[in-house]
Structure 1
Amino acid sequence: MSQEETTEAVSSDFEAKLNVFLQKKGKSVEDVRTIVTPASMPSAVTNEGLIAALGQTRERYTPPSYEGVGYRKLRFFSGIQPTPVGEDDFESWMDQAVQMMEEWQCSDIMKRQRLAESLRGPASDVIRSIRVSKPSAGAMEYLHALDDIYGTTESEEDLCVRFCTTYQEEGEKLSQYVCRLEKLLHKVLVKKGILASRLDQVRMEQILKGACSGNLIALKLQLSDSRQNPPSFSKLVRDIREEED
């Protein structure tokens, strides 16, 4: 069933329940229209109870939000060692989480919910503690907290140096180099060594600096407007692989 069909079905269900509710109150849909029109404000005051009840009924049967329908879910992570079957180790989970944070086209509240849904056991307790101590904490703060407990002990400075001195190896495809570089960039981000808004720019600058001399695809990127208007990671890799094929 499509989103439109689902919404229509839920709306019809609400209307049916609304009619039943009104009949029990000895009211009709016309009475509701009278209540909510400006000309009837004096009489509306006498129907405050009905208005409140209608509001509660509407909240109960309002169609759910379809924000991000069909999104890619994260695999589970619990922080338990050895890693249980069906879960990711922390590094794998974090790599995917950072990538999804870029791909998910939704609010930060929804991102927090999706991150929390992928956590189990001790890792879930970490987020539960943050929610209590700092209710306003954003999704990236969730990742920072998890990294403090389960992540690498390398400092922000060490990771930045590693990232800036990582070059394409002889015989390595440019797309493979970009993916290898991305893992380091994720670690720098989680360690607060870079702002999320700067990811695309910093990634492109290092690719152009670190690609093997004479790499034709890198040269093409250099001559395009990619330095000034860098694409996202997924689009960049897709474009590079199309060139490699």
Structure 2
Amino acid sequence: MDFIAKLGIKIPNAVIVSGLTGSEKDDDVFDYLRQCGTISRTLTVDDSSSAFYQNCVVEFSSDLAVQELTPALPYLYPSAENPDVKYCVRALTDVYTKTVGGSVTDTYLTELKTLAKLSGKDFEEVLREVMSKFEESMGSVEAAASPCPNNDTEPTQSVGFPPHHLDNPHSPKLVQSPNPSSLKLNQKPHILSQTDLVSPEVQRIVVEHVVKTTEKTSNGHSTLRLRAFSGRNPRPYPEVDYETWRSHVDLMMGDTSLSNLEKTRKILESLLTPASDVIRPLGPDASVDDYLRLLESAFGTVEDGEELLVRFMNTLQDPGEKPSAYLHRLQVALSLAVRRGGVDPRERDRQLLKQFQRGCWDDNLLTELQLELKKNNLPTFAELLLLLRIAENRQEVKSTRMRKHFSATKQKAASHEQTVTETKMDFSETTSNTLSDLKKQVADLKSQLAAVMKQKKQTVPKKNQTTKPDHANPEPNLPSHSRPSSRPKPWYCFRCGEDGHIVANCESEPNPALVEAKRKELKAKRQIWDRQHNGSASLN
């Protein structure tokens, strides 16, 4: 604070302002200070090594302005344009006394140590002598101040950084009425004495607060109840199975705010017959661990950890099951194996990820999530479940868009069919034309047949020559109606393998396995057809 002495600043008449932004917004705080009194000059600290760098010292022409501001200092003044910008106004007397006084005290103690060392006395003895002089000086000051106890105005005192001003800068008095004229002069903060703290009224208020807080906490815990469990098979609707009930109990056991008595009471309230009959011989004085150990023996799984691990390894995804549902089943099976000691709890996430990769049949999903790359940074069950649900939702949205797109295409085909239906209005006329054409063709065939029969009669041999009936030598060019009309053709969709539609109208998911099976069936039918017709051709 050497710049204060160099510049000749009157410390009782000045305040120091921090939090300046260097913009026009800083004019708000200076306008506020001008309401207290006339400002003679403002000085900005340019020394970068100083703790008050870029702070501004505002010096008033009179110390009355500082006396008017003293009850509210230190004061946080919010900017009118930007509430996030706040300026801290402090009395320069307090800052200077704290900063320079601390430095002077350290220097003085160093000199006292040097004096004790040179004089050969103990430092404590020298310090006691100095403290006795301080007490004498304080006594003389009090004696000088005692003759005037009835003064209406007390001398200006430093408030010494009251913490309540900094903790609550936006008090109603300062924010609602920023005008310093409305502040009371020489207002002192109320400080409770030791007698006030031990008074019966204060103790009664503290005890009532503690009791109400305890009752509120107890009432909050009393509303938490465990689901009912009886151990019946089949399980009634409102009840849960043992594994679910035990997971809820484990969660409750981790609650440190509940006492052992409350935990025992909640467990007993959740048990119904015959589960309650199992623990009845233990009596009400048994511990929670005793109850759980007996219930585990009666209703828990009896398979050891190795068997449960084998069951977990054999858990595969069922047809039509979503990957997220499959992960849920894996988690349940893995929890049983961990509880029975079949899997190390530290290997829980690794085993879950490994088995999911083995048992999930959706290779596209595994490739999309890149689970192979997550072995070094194993995801937890919750993280992996979230990834699966996001991927499933993405696929579902895509399928929905595809169905909407194909349904819109079908509407165009339906309108085309409607156009074809409208052309059927001339059906009777078209039918009559077709019948007339067919009649002409039949007449032509009859005339051709008559000409052929007449030609045969002319070439008939003599009576002693026998001729075979016409049905014995059929014309080789006549078609055989006993043969199939054509070679078997595909009757299925090349995309999903289902019957009744083609790829252009397919809305189902691709099914390569079914398509391959239908293709093999078509190939077999064609081979049978080829053998039959090739054999018939060789016989003819």
**TM-score, with normalisation over the residues of structure 1?**
0.55
Question: How big is each residue's C-alpha offset from its partner over 1:94-132, in whole Å with a ceiling of 9 and x where there is no partner?
Answer: 5x648x94xx9x944369949738722354674995995
Letter in 1 for 2:352: R
Q: What 5-or-longer segments of structure 2 have no aligned partner?
A: 1-189, 397-540
Question: How big is each residue's C-alpha offset from its partner over 1:121-147, in whole Å with a ceiling of 9 and x where there is no partner?
Answer: 354674995995556x5xxx9766533
Q: For residues 164 and 73 of structure 1, what CA distance do their matches in structure 2 show?
A: 35
The equivalent of 1:62 in structure 2 is 213
Q: What 5-or-longer segments of structure 1 have no aligned partner?
A: 1-29
**What is the Cα deviation at residue 171 of structure 1?**
4.5
**What is the Cα deviation at residue 74 of structure 1?**
5.3
**What is the Cα deviation at residue 161 of structure 1?**
1.5
Among 363, 366, 375, the alignment partner of 1:218 is 366
Among 277, 299, 305, the alignment partner of 1:150 is 299
Q: For residues 243 and 185 of structure 1, what CA distance do their matches in structure 2 show?
A: 23
**What is the Cα deviation at residue 159 of structure 1?**
0.4
Listed as ranges, the matches of 1:135-146 within 5 Å are: 146=295
Larger radius of gyration: 2
Among 219, 222, 231, the alignment partner of 1:79 is 231
Letter in 1 for 2:314: T
Between the aligned residues of both structures, percent identity stands at 24
Larger helix percent: 1
Alpha-carbon distance change, 207 to 79 in structure 1, aligned in 2, over 3 angstroms = same
Aligned 8 A contact 1:77 1:120 in 2: yes
Q: For residues 237 and 60 of structure 1, what CA distance do their matches in structure 2 show?
A: 44
1:109 aligns to what SS in structure 2? coil
**TM-score, with normalisation over the residues of structure 2?**
0.29
2:270 aligns to what SS in structure 1? coil
Among 257, 260, 270, the alignment partner of 1:119 is 270
Alpha-carbon distance change, 152 to 177 in structure 1, aligned in 2, over 3 angstroms = same
Alpha-carbon distance change, 207 to 116 in structure 1, aligned in 2, over 3 angstroms = same
**What is the Cα deviation at residue 180 of structure 1?**
1.7
Aligned 8 A contact 1:174 1:211 in 2: yes
**What is the Cα deviation at residue 207 of structure 1?**
1.2
Letter in 2 for 1:90: Y
Aligned 8 A contact 1:77 1:89 in 2: yes
Listed as ranges, the matches of 1:63-212 within 5 Å are: 64-65=216-217, 75-80=227-232, 83-91=235-243, 93-94=245-246, 97=248, 101=251, 107-109=254-256, 113=263, 116=267, 119-121=270-272, 123=275, 126=279, 132-134=285-287, 146-194=295-343, 196=345, 198-212=347-361
**What is the Cα deviation at residue 157 of structure 1?**
1.6
**What is the Cα deviation at residue 177 of structure 1?**
1.7
The equivalent of 2:474 in structure 1 is none
Q: For residues 207 and 229 of structure 1, what CA distance do their matches in structure 2 show?
A: 13
Question: How big is each residue's C-alpha offset from its partner over 1:10-65, in whole Å with a ceiling of 9 and x where there is no partner?
Answer: xxxxxxxxxxxxxxxxxxxx99x534xxxx69x95xx7x88876664333111645
C-alpha RMSD of the superposition: 4.8
Aligned 8 A contact 2:229 2:239 in 1: yes
Q: For residues 320 and 217 of structure 2, what CA distance do their matches in structure 1 show?
A: 48
Aligned 8 A contact 2:279 2:294 in 1: yes
Letter in 1 for 2:272: G
Q: For residues 150 and 177 of structure 1, what CA distance do their matches in structure 2 show?
A: 25
Alpha-carbon distance change, 232 to 178 in structure 1, aligned in 2, over 3 angstroms = closer
**What is the Cα deviation at residue 165 of structure 1?**
2.8
Aligned 8 A contact 1:147 1:190 in 2: no
Larger strand percent: 2
Letter in 2 for 1:62: T
Alpha-carbon distance change, 53 to 142 in structure 1, aligned in 2, over 3 angstroms = farther
Alpha-carbon distance change, 60 to 207 in structure 1, aligned in 2, over 3 angstroms = same
Size of the aligned set, in residue pairs, is 194
Q: For residues 65 and 160 of structure 1, what CA distance do their matches in structure 2 show?
A: 42
